[in-house]
Chain A
Amino acid sequence: MSDPRSRAAAIEEKRAKLLAIKREREQRNRDLQSSRQSLGHTPGEGSGYSTPIRTTDRKDIDNLVNALVGQGRSSSTGPRDGASPARGSRPQSLGSGGQLSGGDATSPIRTNGRVVQMVSSQTQTMSTDDTVTYNEPALPKAKPEVAMYSRAVQTSEEWTPPGQQSTGVGDDTVDWEGQSTSPRTSKRISKREREREDEIRTNIRREVEEELKALQLGGTDALGGTAEPNFPSRTLNDDELKAVTSSEDFLDFIERSSKVIERALETEYDILKDYALGSMIDEEDEDGYGTSKGKKGRRVKEVAQFYSERWSKKRTITSLDFSPKFPELILASYTKSPLHPHDPTGLLQVWNIHTPSTPEYTFHSPSDICVAKFSPFHPNLILGGTYSGQVLLWDTRSRNPAPVQRTPLTGSGHTHPIYCLDIVGTQNAHNIISASTDGVVCGWSVDMLAQPQEGLELQAPDKKTEDCSPTAIAFSEADPTYFLAGTEEGSIYTCHRYDRAGAKAGVDQRVVYRGHTAPVMSIDFHPQRGPLDLGDLVLSSSVDWSVKLWRVKPPASVAAGGTTGNIHAVKPLLEIAREDLVYDARWNPVRPSVFAAVDGAGTLELWDLNLDVEVPVAKVVPSEDSARGLARRGLNKVAWEKNEGKKVAVGGLDGVVTLFEVGADLGGTEGVKAEEWAKLKRAVGRWDPKSAVVAGASAGMFSPVNGR
């Protein structure tokens, strides 16, 4: 039973060996700990956590520990356990277990239990180190040996500081080891107890392994710890799926997120690009289809084409407009498609410059949309006029592609196609003005489309019996009470919205701008942005193969100098004959002398009146997509980006919207010189006297050439 001395030498030898083994284990433990800590556990948590428990429940623990340690100490199964790496991680499992179970205060019993388990396991391993040397037969001798040297072994520095637990549990172990009766209890070993011990040990190991697994699986997510172990098995069944995929939330989310994704994917600029790597090809100098040649500043470059195989096909573009608030948005309205008779007839797509493959918004209408515009006073609203004679209002905030408001098809509104639409007024007081081909002009309030606020019937002054059929209208920025209406027969009339001194509401009976011999396709007032007011210059295009420049007389001056009875036909300042039908002509919003025109041959022409009045500065044809298999088609509409005047969009019979960017000489706010206005003004002065008023006009009709 007791002859310790005879084995002393052997023990010393073994102890040295054991020390080496312990070091090795420690190393392993540390490695394990550090890997675990790197998974997101702060090292302080574990030890800081165990301390309060030790102090508060010291007695309990001691009791428990004593009971347990007795078994552990004498156990011969120790080596098996000790060999497993799980042993070292057990102390940590306490820390992480505490975190996972969410707070020491709430579950003291459980954590106490854990502490005890842990402590006992440590003592086991310590005793293991002894028992290895003796093996089974030596067990009963454990008592005196422990009394002699256990302290030295157990307090040895190499053993106690395994990571977080070092100060807390290590010291504690030593304490109670000194005072405890564990050596004695260890004698009372029984098979049953050993089995229980094994059970506990395997339990612990399983627990630890589970925790480790969870940690590895769950990565850094500390809170989701409970959800993670069963995460991969979470699959929705059919009903759940259906419920989810048809829920409003989900659809909303898809709609929003797919736009974001789309933009993210379409952004071509690679922010990770390293210009030092690889050779760069300068694509700026590439000249080809879709790009006009010429001097650098006058270059026109094709940026993007917007076309949807599903929706745009076989539809003709009827209008184009840039959003005044979001310059990257372009709206295009389309006629009906013969390919899809069951699709909504009218189509309106809002394209984003950055995502050419998909429209940002799509809107429908029951009838062809002949004209559409962004509301300049409300970034979310889009207005349209249809072939059936309705004025429609869409809202980009609505997920519904149908218009949110529409005018009725009654006698009080329009019963003929609306080709002209404009919004005039100010932010707080504006009206929609619409004109249909039967000469009816209506004013609408944006808030109330049920009934027109004002109504007007246009009648040509000389042909009272016939309808005056407006094909284009334009408002002067300076005076929204009158507008110009280009008609089917080619004349342009001044129209007053209200009765005024010397003139009744309707077509002004005294002045007619006569020059076009075919329907007028567009009228555009000069934008008032420069240092000089050129707001009386008007550009018109017509299918008589010409673009004409007019000088409009303000209605006031007409009224002042008016003679009754005679119709004064005003001739254009400038006539620019073209080689094809001109469908649209628009001033550049920032360059006083630049305008863009599109024609039936499918060409976009850019003109600078200060440079040349006979030849366009640049000519460009939208590139063709061979996959689309479309022959070059006429261009219908042209629209400038409103803030910078750097981009111009064209669209035509093939339903493709093409976006161009113009060089610094043709657009853009940079490099605009004040003298450009003066130059144009002088030019206008030169042209004016020649464009005399036709015979019969009184001298009083003339406003002084340089009067403004």
Chain B
Amino acid sequence: MAHTAPDETLALLTRIGQKPGVQSTLILSRETGAIVRTSGLVANDASANPNATLPPAAENGAEGSITEKKSGLQSAEELARLVWGFVNAAGTMINGLDENDEMKLLRLRTKKNELVIVPDSKYLLVVVHDTPPA
């Protein structure tokens, strides 16, 4: 059975990255915390693999530079590390509550924005977006 091409699937990701309000997206490996894919983030480490960054669409690049200015989380590594630590801590907590339970979704609301984290057995998807104007 032919499955959807990887490109098409990754287009889903690109689209999420371009949704209004979305500042950045980030995919990590659950096990090692390695960055698989990012958008809207700046890699501050020169050794970071440039291929991990989504091809910046025209508006994506512009947005990126804007969010860079206004948000404090512009470094992919920094965000990755913090999120990874947070997710693991949350996972430990859930395990502590119930051995057989599993974490499905993390929504972390801050004063400035919201992080939506989808943890999975192998990967993590993190989306940082503006909170609805309240």
Query: Chain B residues with Cβ under 8 A from A262's Cβ?
Result: 16
| Pair A227/B89 contact, Cβ less than 8 Å | no
| Pair A257/B118 contact, Cβ less than 8 Å | yes
B22-37: contact bitstring with A at CB < 8 Å (1 yes, 0 no)? 1000010100111111
A278 to B134, CA, bound (A): 9
Q: A218-B85, A241-B51, A401-B4 are in contact. Are A227 and B32 (CB under 8 A)?
A: yes
A236 to B28, CA, bound (A): 11
Q: Does A463 contact B (CB under 8 A)?
A: no
Task: Please give me the residue from chain A that is nearest to B116 by CB atom.
Answer: A264
| Pair B12/A265 contact, Cβ less than 8 Å | no
Q: Which of B1-49 contact A (CB under 8 A)?
A: 1-4, 6, 9-10, 12-13, 15-16, 19, 21-22, 27, 29, 32-37, 45, 47-49
Q: Does A339 contact B (CB under 8 A)?
A: no
Q: Does A261 contact B (CB under 8 A)?
A: yes
The B interface is mostly helix, strand or loop, or mixed, namely mixed
Q: A246-B6, A253-B122, A265-B129 are in contact. Are A217 and B49 (CB under 8 A)?
A: no
| Pair B36/A258 contact, Cβ less than 8 Å | no
Chain A min CB distance to B1 (Å): 5
A261 to B85, CA, bound (A): 21
Q: Does A399 contact B (CB under 8 A)?
A: yes
A248-278: contact bitstring with B at CB < 8 Å (1 yes, 0 no)? 1111011111101110110010101110011
Q: A236-B52, A244-B29 are in contact. Are A261 and B132 (CB under 8 A)?
A: no
What's the A-B contact tally at a CB cutoff of 8 Å? 132
| Pair B36/A236 contact, Cβ less than 8 Å | yes
- Pick the residue among B22, B49, B125 that contacts A254 (CB under 8 A): B125
- Pick the residue among A241, A255, A358, A398 that contacts B9 (CB under 8 A): A255
Q: A241-B52, A254-B9 are in contact. Are A402 and B2 (CB under 8 A)?
A: yes
Q: Which of A317-348 contact B (CB under 8 A)?
A: none
| Pair A217/B125 contact, Cβ less than 8 Å | no
Q: What 8 pairs across the A-B complex have the smallest Cβ distances?
A: A257-B118, A257-B125, A219-B85, A258-B12, A251-B9, A253-B123, A264-B116, A234-B34
| Pair B16/A258 contact, Cβ less than 8 Å | yes
| Pair B89/A232 contact, Cβ less than 8 Å | no
Query: Chain B residues with Cβ under 8 A from A265's Cβ?
Result: 16, 19, 21-22, 116, 127, 129
Task: Please give me the residue from chain B that is nearest to A274 by CB atom.
Answer: B134
| Pair B36/A221 contact, Cβ less than 8 Å | no
Q: Does A357 contact B (CB under 8 A)?
A: yes
| Pair B109/A272 contact, Cβ less than 8 Å | yes
Q: Which of A567-603 contact B (CB under 8 A)?
A: none
| Pair A268/B132 contact, Cβ less than 8 Å | yes
A618 to B32, CA, bound (A): 59
Query: Chain B residues with Cβ under 8 A from A108's Cβ?
Result: none
A253 to B52, CA, bound (A): 17
Query: Chain B residues with Cβ under 8 A from A258's Cβ?
Result: 12-13, 15-16, 125
Q: Does A233 contact B (CB under 8 A)?
A: yes
Chain B min CB distance to A394 (Å): 13
| Pair A244/B85 contact, Cβ less than 8 Å | no
Task: Please give me the residue from chain B that is nearest to A232 by CB atom.
Answer: B77
Q: A236-B35, A245-B36 are in contact. Are A220 and B120 (CB under 8 A)?
A: no
Chain A min CB distance to B32 (Å): 6
Task: Please give me the residue from chain B that is nearest to A259 by CB atom.
Answer: B12
Chain A min CB distance to B87 (Å): 10
| Pair A245/B77 contact, Cβ less than 8 Å | no
Identify the interface centre among A260, A265, A278, A358: most chain B CB within 10 Å of its CB.
A265
- Pick the residue among A235, A357, A400 that contacts B3 (CB under 8 A): A400
Task: Please give me the residue from chain A that is nearest to B4 by CB atom.
Answer: A399
Query: Chain B residues with Cβ under 8 A from A268's Cβ?
Result: 132
Instruction: Show 16 residue pairs from A and B whose CB-CB distance is below 8 angstroms, ordered by the A residue.
Output: A219-B89, A220-B89, A223-B88, A223-B92, A235-B52, A236-B36, A236-B49, A244-B29, A245-B10, A251-B3, A251-B6, A251-B9, A264-B127, A265-B19, A274-B134, A358-B15
Q: A244-B29, A253-B123, A261-B127 are in contact. Are A231 and B81 (CB under 8 A)?
A: yes
Query: Chain A residues with Cβ under 8 A from B2's Cβ?
Result: 400, 402
Task: Please give me the residue from chain B that is nearest to A272 by CB atom.
Answer: B109
A373 to B122, CA, bound (A): 36
Task: Please give me the residue from chain B that is nearest to A270 by CB atom.
Answer: B132
| Pair A235/B4 contact, Cβ less than 8 Å | no
Query: Chain A residues with Cβ under 8 A from B86's Cβ?
Result: 219
Q: Does A224 contact B (CB under 8 A)?
A: yes
Q: Does A286 contact B (CB under 8 A)?
A: no
- Pick the residue among B33, B47, B122 that contacts A249 (CB under 8 A): B122
- Pick the residue among A228, A241, A260 that contacts B105 (CB under 8 A): A260
Query: Chain A residues with Cβ under 8 A from B116's Cβ?
Result: 260-261, 264-265
Query: Chain A residues with Cβ under 8 A from B131's Cβ?
Result: 270, 272
A191 to B11, CA, bound (A): 69
| Pair B10/A254 contact, Cβ less than 8 Å | yes
| Pair A235/B34 contact, Cβ less than 8 Å | yes
A244 to B32, CA, bound (A): 13
